[in-house]
């Protein structure tokens, strides 16, 4: 039997599509403007191909910084309009400020305005078509979930939250308990009716979340038959990790070697050398630039913090070694007289100037000293306090695995996760940290750096 599921674009396919057609429509619009208007600032030829490469490079960097390839935001024209204007404005600004590699500034400055309007116009035309067509419900990926009744709602919600185009339309219950409190939009499917349901509901994929022990012989035979006929069947933790970029520790067993084949970069001497070299250069450069900001920070601290400028606190580093982290103080003096407690987003202990330092990430700058001392890295899981590590290790499986790499100034959890105010929030951050440890690479590090810039620009510091 040939299975021809409903058309659906995977996450990676949509991101490639966005990048490809962004460039295509930008150059198409520039070409049309050059042909029909008096515009000669950007004319491509065999001797000027470097202009195009530089324009693409600048655009991709700023498109990443201003989150044009965040699929949640790309599905909203309002977000696309705002982020697109920021990305294109930055691209054009950098392009015209590098005349050694780009066209010389024209005498008629109106040409620059036309250049900007052509790029933003082409981009928005394509993105509107993307939102209207490809992000439309007709391209949703429809899946059937095979799992126990306890997890059905949670799994369906997690998948849809991570990717709005991923729809769980039904489920096959694998335990003996009748599923009563499931989302009524999900259709219960009997094992004997599985093939009929796939055809009836245009199902694209089956996702199995139960262990092999929880799958009956009848269901197992049905799945094997579908697999042999070419129907896609995948395991839930694999799907979850792929679309959320998190490791679902709450759904896996204690055999972490089975689920966490750690990235080779964790022991790759070349990667570690380049990372250490870049860490040192970054720390020296940032500390040097901070000297220029120090007078303003001192004044802000005197007026808004009224106490010592620096704050030291014990944190757990690589291999469980405890070290003292250094930060600009953001809380009132003696903020923890009542004992250690979670910091929250609207924490009353945070001073007005401290809030500014946190949102702009300026409070983290002194940690560059920790980086130079080899206690931290630029990128990695954020170091936690010993008292919380002890508590969280007892409550959350695999928590201590985050200590197999150096803690970082910024990390995957910081640019993707929400503010950690509870154990549940910490669990989510741990999922991101484990994903980073598992997939650590130069490309992921660069992605984190660009997203960190986005976090600072959009004032989302923690």
Q: Do residues 183 and 294 both lie within one domain? A: no
Residue 234 resides in a domain: yes
Q: What is the pLDDT of residue 343?
A: 66
* Integer Rg of the chain from CA: 26
Q: Do residues 270 and 342 both lie within one domain? A: yes
Q: Do residues 411 and 270 both lie within one domain? A: yes
Q: Do residues 275 and 299 both lie within one domain? A: yes
Task: Report the C-alpha gap between 287 and 280 in whole angstroms.
Answer: 11
Residue 462 resides in a domain: no
Task: Report the C-alpha gap between 81 and 65 in whole angstroms.
Answer: 15
Q: Which domain does 346 fall in, by range?
A: 264-457
Q: Which helix (H) or strand (E) holds 302?
A: none
Decide which of 99, 134, 169 is a domain's last residue: 134
Mean pLDDT, consecutive 10-residue segments, the chain of 462 residues? 58 86 94 84 74 92 91 88 94 87 79 92 95 76 80 77 80 72 76 88 85 75 87 86 82 57 76 93 94 90 86 92 93 71 71 85 92 95 92 86 92 82 80 90 92 80 56
Q: Do residues 63 and 153 both lie within one domain? A: no
* Residue 324 tokens, joined: 């003292």
CATH of the domain at 205: 3.40.50.11060
Give start and end residues of each alpha helix (H) in 71-151. Answer: 71-74, 77-96, 110-129
Q: Do residues 38 and 176 both lie within one domain? A: no
Question: Domain count of the chain?
Answer: 3
Q: What is the pLDDT of residue 405?
A: 92
Residue 253 resides in a domain: no
Q: What is the pLDDT of residue 23?
A: 95
Q: Do residues 289 and 343 both lie within one domain? A: yes
Q: What is the pLDDT of residue 180?
A: 57
Decide which of 70, 101, 134 is a domain's last residue: 134
Task: Report the C-alpha gap between 460 and 462 in whole angstroms.
Answer: 7
Q: Do residues 183 and 232 both lie within one domain? A: yes
Q: What is the pLDDT of residue 99?
A: 75
Residue 6 resides in a domain: no
Strands 310-316 and 322-328: antiparallel
Residue 257 resides in a domain: no
């Amino acid at each position: 039997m040939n299975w021809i599921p409903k058309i659906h674009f995977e996450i990676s396919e949509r991101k490639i599509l966005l990048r490809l057609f962004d460039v295509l429509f930008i150059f198409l619009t520039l070409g049309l403007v050059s042909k029909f208007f008096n515009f000669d600032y950007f004319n491509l030829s065999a001797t000027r191909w470097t202009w195009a490469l530089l324009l693409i490079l600048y655009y991709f960097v700023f498109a990443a910084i201003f989150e044009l390839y965040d699929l949640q935001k790309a599905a909203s024209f309002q977000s696309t309009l705002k982020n697109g204007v920021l990305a294109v404005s930055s691209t054009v600004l950098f392009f015209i400020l590098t005349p050694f590699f780009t066209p010389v500034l024209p005498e008629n400055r109106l040409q620059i305005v036309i250049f900007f309007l052509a790029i933003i116009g082409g981009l928005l035309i394509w993105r509107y078509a993307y939102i209207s067509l490809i992000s439309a419900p007709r391209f949703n990926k429809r899946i059937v979930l095979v799992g126990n009744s306890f997890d059905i709602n949670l799994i369906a919600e997690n998948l849809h939250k991570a990717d709005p185009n991923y729809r769980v339309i039904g489920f096959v219950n694998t335990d003996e308990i009748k599923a009563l409190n499931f989302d009524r939009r999900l259709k219960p499917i009997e094992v004997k009716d599985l093939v009929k349901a796939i055809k009836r509901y245009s199902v694209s994929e089956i996702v199995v979340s139960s262990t092999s022990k929880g799958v009956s012989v009848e269901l197992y035979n049905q799945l094997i038959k579908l697999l042999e006929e070419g129907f896609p069947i995948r395991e839930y933790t694999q799907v979850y990790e792929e679309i959320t970029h998190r490791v679902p520790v709450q759904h896996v067993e204690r055999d972490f070697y089975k689920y966490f084949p750690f990235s080779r970069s964790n022991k790759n001497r070349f990667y570690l050398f380049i990372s250490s070299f870049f860490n040192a250069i970054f720390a020296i450069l940032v500390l040097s630039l901070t000297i220029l900001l120090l007078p303003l920070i001192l004044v802000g601290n005197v007026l808004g913090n009224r106490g010592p400028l620096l704050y030291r606190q014990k944190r757990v580093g690589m291999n469980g070694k405890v070290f003292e982290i250094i930060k600009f103080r953001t809380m009132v003096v003696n903020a923890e007289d009542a004992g250690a407690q979670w910091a929250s987003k609207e924490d009353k202990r945070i001073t007005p100037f401290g809030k500014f330092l946190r949102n702009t990430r300026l409070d983290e700058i002194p940690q560059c000293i920790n980086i130079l001392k080899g206690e931290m890295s630029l990128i990695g899981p954020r170091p936690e306090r010993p008292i919380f590590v002890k508590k969280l290790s007892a409550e959350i499986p695999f928590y201590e695995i985050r200590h197999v790499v150096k803690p970082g100034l910024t990390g995957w959890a910081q640019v993707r996760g929400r503010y950690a105010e509870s154990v549940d929030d910490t669990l989510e951050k741990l999922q991101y940290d484990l994903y980073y440890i598992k997939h650590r690479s130069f490309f992921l590090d660069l992605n984190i750096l660009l997203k960190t810039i986005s976090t600072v620009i959009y004032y989302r510091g923690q």
